[in-house]
A and B are shown apart, each in its own frame.
Chain A
Amino acid sequence: AQSVTQPDIHITVSEGASLELRCNYSYGATPYLFWYVQSPGQGLQLLLKYFSGDTLVQGIKGFEAEFKRSQSSFNLRKPSVHWSDAAEYFCAVGHNAGGTSYGKLTFGQGTILTVHP
């Protein structure tokens, strides 16, 4: 069965510092991978996605992620964190069995990001 592991429950960084959030997945076929962000009281906003092609994908708000098949990883990075990036971040793997399965996501536990001024 597919699964997603986010090893870090909580990360604290200083504003302006670089950020890397880890994500490891388990999926039997070619994975569709996503990062979502959730601010308090808000829904899940898509940051970026990987389906195929270039393994380094760019997203919104200056985020990027790199798909490494050999490591079953899809880590999220940002070179310089802003205070407004404080939120919870979720990695997810999508199913690719056709039809509505493309919207059936398996999520990781989430990583809470705190940004110090």
Chain B
Amino acid sequence: EPEVTQTPSHQVTQMGQEVILRCVPISNHLYFYWYRQILGQKVEFLVSFYNNEISEKSEIFDDQFSVERPDGSNFTLKIRSTKLEDSAMYFCASKVGLKSYNSPLHFGNGTRLTVT
């Protein structure tokens, strides 16, 4: 069964550094998402992306965050200047576009970001 793949599985960075989290969604999917889960807290929606633009973003997704689909397969989340509170597990997810309401959201295994 096709999978959403995320790299790296664990990223350690220093405060103030830029990080890029990478995702390869399922190939025929058109809707893309990032979620995050701070340790001990709920999984939270960050952003949705379709047709090369952001569809919706949460309050968490401020100017420090950006997303991009640089080619036909990758979907990236960039954090420009990381803060300690950005430490979390980041999940990428994708979904087919057409008749989307009853198609499942497929999640990757996540990237654990640790900011020191």
| Interface of A toward B, CB cutoff 8 Å | 32, 34, 36, 41-46, 49, 51, 90, 92, 94, 96, 99-110
Contact = CB atoms under 8 A, between A and B. Distances in A.
Interface stretch (B47-55, B68-76, B78-86): B47-55
A104 B100 CA distance: 12
A43 B91 contact: yes
Interface size class of B (residues with CB under 8 A): 20 to 34
Given A43-B4, A103-B33, A103-B95, A96 B110 contact: no
A96 B102 CA distance: 10
B105 A105 contact: yes
A104 B42 contact: no
Contacts of A43: 4, 91, 107-110
B56 interface: yes
Contacts of B50: 99-100
Contact of B100 (A41, A44, A103, A107): A103
A41 B60 CA distance: 24
A46 to B, nearest CB: 5
